[in-house]
Amino acid sequence: MIAMLLCAIRSMAQQDSYLSQGVFNLGYINPGSYGIDDDGLFCATAVNRIQMQDMDGSPVTTTLNVNGPLGFINSGISISVFNDKIGYLKTPGFNLGYSYIFELSKGKLGVGVSLGMINSKFDSSDWRLPDEQTGDVALPTGDVNTTAFDAGLGVYYTNDKFFAGLSCMHINRTAITKTSEKIKFGRTFYAMAGYRLIFGFTDNYELRPSIYMSTDFGVGKYTANAHLFYEKKYWAGLSYRLDEAVIITVGLELIKNLKIGYSYDYFTTDIEKYGGGAHEFLVSYRFSISTGKRNNQRKSIRYL
C-alpha cells in the first residue's frame, strides 16, 4: 500500500479514476451530455469501483450523477458527487452542471459546463514515511485538508444510431495540496464514440460497439467495447483496455427504469498477480420530475 500511495501523492498531475462502464455514465465525465436524451426523464447513476482488492488500502472510487432535461429552455442540468480513496488519501468532491442543447442534422448537440469543488484529505495519524523518503518536499508531513475550485467543459452529439463526445475536466488544473510542491489534477481529456446496430426478427437485439478514452498527455487509457443488448433489458459486453486489462460486463433491468450492471477487470499486467482485478458496480434509475405524461420511447444510446 505504501508504494501505491507514494505514487498517488508524488505524481505532480493527479488523474481521475477510469471507470470501465464509463460509456454508461457519461454524465460523470462529459457536461455536454446532460439532459440530451429524447424521453424527457432524469437519470441517476451510481458507480462503486474497487481495484486491487487483495492489497491493503486498495483504490476505491464512488460516484453519483443525476442529470436531466429542462425542455422548456432546450437545456440540461446535473449534479455529481464523488470520492476517490487510496490508502490514507481521500479526494471527495461535487459539481453542478448545465448544458445547452441544439437540434443538429437529425440529432442533438449538447454544449455544457460543470463547476464545483474538490477536497483533499490526508490522515497522517498512522502514516510512517520510509527512511529514504524523509525530506521529500512533495510529501505531506502532517494532516492535509484542502478544498479547491474545479471546472470542466464538454460537447456531445447523438442521434438514433450514433453518438460522440469530447470533454475536458479539471480545465483549471485544480490544486489539491498545500505542500511546497503543489499537486494538481491535470487537465484530463475524454473522448467517446459509438454506434447502435439493431437486428433480429423483431429488432430485439442491439450491438453497440464503442470506444472510450482519456488522457492528460502524460498518462492515457484507451478502451474498445462491444456490448450486446436483448430487448433493452439484458446486456453483456467485452472490452479491452490497451496494455492494461480485459473487461467483462453484464447487466439487467430489475424493474422498469431500474437497471444494474457489473464489470470485472482482469489486468494483463503483473499487478494481477499481487492485487487482483477490479470490481465495478453500477445502478441507474430513470425518473420524471413532472406529473405530466411523458413519452417513454428511448432513442439515445448513451443510456442503458
Q: Which pLDDT does position 97 carry in this prediction?
A: 98
Q: Which pLDDT does position 124 carry in this prediction?
A: 62
CA–CA dist 260, 255 (Å, integer): 10
pLDDT at residue 180 is higher than 60: no
CA–CA dist 127, 125 (Å, integer): 6
Comparison of pLDDT for 112 and 123, the residue scoring more: 112
pLDDT at residue 294 is higher than 90: no
Output the DSSP codes for 23-74.
GG-GGGT-GGGTT--TT--EEEEEEEEEESTTSTT--EEEEEEEEEEEGGGT
Q: Which pLDDT does position 52 carry in this prediction?
A: 82
Structure confidence at residue 105 as a pLDDT band (50, 70, 90): confident
Q: Which pLDDT does position 98 carry in this prediction?
A: 98
Cell of 80: 455529481
- Give the torsion sign (CA, 179, 28, 187, 192): positive
Per CATH, the number for 2-287 is 2.40.160.40
Residues 19, 23, 29, 31, Cα dihedral to 10°: -170
Structure confidence at residue 120 as a pLDDT band (50, 70, 90): confident
Q: Which pLDDT does position 224 carry in this prediction?
A: 97
Nearest to 298 by CA among 37, 105, 22, 23: 37
Q: Which pLDDT does position 138 carry in this prediction?
A: 53
- Give the torsion sign (CA, 10, 15, 17, 18): negative
pTM: 0.85
For 141-169, the pLDDT digits (tens) are 556 788 899 999 999 999 989 999 999 99
Q: Which pLDDT does position 291 carry in this prediction?
A: 40
* Lowest mean per-residue pLDDT among 130-134, 229-233, 250-254: 130-134
pLDDT at residue 296 is higher than 70: no
Q: What is the mean pLDDT of the chain?
A: 85
Nearest to 177 by CA among 141, 131, 152: 141
Give the type of residue at 269: T
- Interstrand relation of 258-267 and 278-287 (parallel, antiparallel or unpaired): antiparallel
Structure confidence at residue 1 as a pLDDT band (50, 70, 90): very low
User: What count of other Cβ atoms lies within 10 Å of the Cβ of residue 274?
Assistant: 10
CA–CA dist 146, 178 (Å, integer): 7
Are 63 and 24 contacting, i.e. CB atoms less than 8 angstroms apart?
A: no
For 61-102, the pLDDT digits (tens) are 999 999 999 988 999 999 999 999 987 788 999 999 999 999
For 92-115, letters b (16+ CB in 10 Å) and e give bbbbebbbbbeeeeebbbbebbbe
Q: Which pLDDT does position 141 carry in this prediction?
A: 56
Q: Which pLDDT does position 5 carry in this prediction?
A: 47
For 3-37, the pLDDT digits (tens) are 444 444 444 456 678 899 999 999 999 999 999 98
Q: Which pLDDT does position 149 carry in this prediction?
A: 94
Cβ neighbours for 27, distance < 8 A, ≥ 6 positions apart: 33, 34, 43, 45, 65, 66, 67, 78, 80, 97
CA–CA dist 224, 155 (Å, integer): 21
For 42-65, the pLDDT digits (tens) are 999 999 999 987 777 789 999 999
